[in-house]
């Protein structure tokens, strides 16, 4: 059955607009946290409204029902993902359009993607809530299955295409190389792993948090590892 499109905000377009937007955003932020912690079934609209400092009719006014709140959270994640990765993807595709692009330029474009992945996974205040929300939907613990549909309708296909083309061209392998998708996932996975089991990873690394200093270290290591692997794959392709 076709997913119902999310309704637009139903607040007025007069002087109350800014206040209404602030309230709507606060409800989404609270709902994202509760859906991430407890899943769709475990978070009630009453609890979301209370934590957001509004009454139940106000939540219904903006979102109709719990499914509407959930869809708004999914849209928020999709929109923030597009805003964060869009410029990186545009620059990478521009490099790929240049037939004279050097290996260093190709690698730098891929390195920017790795940097953006690390930033998106670790730095925003709601990064952990977004990750948990996504994880619940990925394993089928959520109600409406909408987030991945939104991502696939948006930037994610272009990002996947760009990363595969950059790696293929740097390594000198055809775009249909059967090992290419796995290798791209391995390269990107080395930064995405830091969003999983944050507490245990911090303990093993003897860090107290994932802040700007730790993020810089992760970015540097990811680029070094990627360069070594991609150079090895290029040497292998060249025989």
Q: What is the mean pLDDT of residues 193-217?
A: 87
For residue 69, what pLDDT is reported?
Answer: 95
Nearest 5°: phi and psi at 234? -70, -40
pLDDT 10s digits, 73-86: 999 999 999 999 99
For residue 19, what pLDDT is reported?
Answer: 75
Share of the chain above pLDDT 70, in %: 91
For residue 17, what pLDDT is reported?
Answer: 53
Q: Dihedral sign for Cα 37, 43, 45, 49, please.
A: negative
> Could you tell me how far CA 181 lies from the centroid of its own chain?
19
Give the HSE-up count for residue 201: Cα atoms under 13 Å, Cβ half-sphere. 14
In a domain, 10, yes or no: no
Q: Which structural domain range is residue 174 located in? A: 17-238
In a domain, 49, yes or no: yes
Q: Dihedral sign for Cα 59, 61, 67, 70, please.
A: negative
Share of the chain above pLDDT 90, in %: 66
Token pair listed for 51: 């934590």
In a domain, 151, yes or no: yes
- CB burial class (10 A; 0-12, 13-18, 19+) of residue 77? buried
The domain that contains 186 carries what CATH number?
Answer: 1.10.357.10
Unique residue bearing structure tokens 């007069």: 14
Q: Tell me the whole-structure pTM to 2 decimals.
A: 0.83
Instruction: Tell me, letter by letter, the H, E, C secondary structure of the chain.
Output: CCCCCCCCCCCCCCCCHHHHHHHHHHHHHHHHHHHHHHHHHHCCHHHHHHHHCCCHHHHHHHHCCHHHHHHHHHHHHHHHHHHHHHHHHHHHHHHHCCCCCCHHHHHHHHHHHHHHHHHHHHCCCCHHHHHHHHHHHHCCCCCCCCHHHHHHHCCHHHHHHHHHHHHHHHHCCCCCCCCHHHHHHHHHHHHHHHHCCHHHHHHHHCCCCCCHHHHHHHHHHHHHHHHHHHHHHHHHHHC
In a domain, 9, yes or no: no
Residue 13 binned pLDDT confidence (cut-offs 50, 70, 90): very low
In the chain, the number of structural domains is: 1
């Amino acid at each position: 059955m076709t997913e119902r499109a999310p309704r637009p905000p139903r607040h007025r377009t007069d002087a109350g607009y800014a206040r209404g937007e602030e309230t709507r955003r606060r409800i989404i932020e609270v709902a994202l946290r509760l859906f991430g912690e407890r899943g769709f079934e475990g978070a009630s609209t009453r609890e979301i409204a209370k934590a957001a400092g509004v009454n139940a009719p106000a939540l219904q006014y903006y979102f109709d029902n719990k499914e509407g709140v959930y869809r708004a959270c999914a849209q928020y994640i999709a929109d923030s993902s597009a805003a964060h990765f869009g410029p990186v993807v545009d620059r990478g595709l521009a490099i790929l359009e240049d037939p004279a692009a050097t290996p260093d330029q190709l690698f730098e474009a891929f390195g920017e993607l790795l940097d953006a992945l690390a930033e998106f996974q670790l730095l925003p205040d709601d990064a952990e809530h977004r990750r948990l929300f996504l994880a619940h939907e990925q394993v089928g613990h959520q109600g409406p299955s909408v987030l991945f549909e939104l991502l696939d309708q948006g930037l994610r296909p272009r990002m996947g295409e760009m990363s595969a083309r950059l790696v293929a061209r740097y390594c000198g392998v055809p775009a249909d190389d059967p090992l290419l998708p796995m290798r791209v996932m391995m390269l990107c996975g080395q930064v995405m792993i830091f969003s999983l089991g944050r507490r245990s990873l911090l303990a093993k690394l003897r860090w107290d948090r994932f802040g700007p200093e730790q993020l810089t270290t992760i970015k540097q290591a990811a680029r070094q590892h990627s360069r070594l692997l991609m150079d090895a794959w290029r040497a292998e392709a060249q025989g």
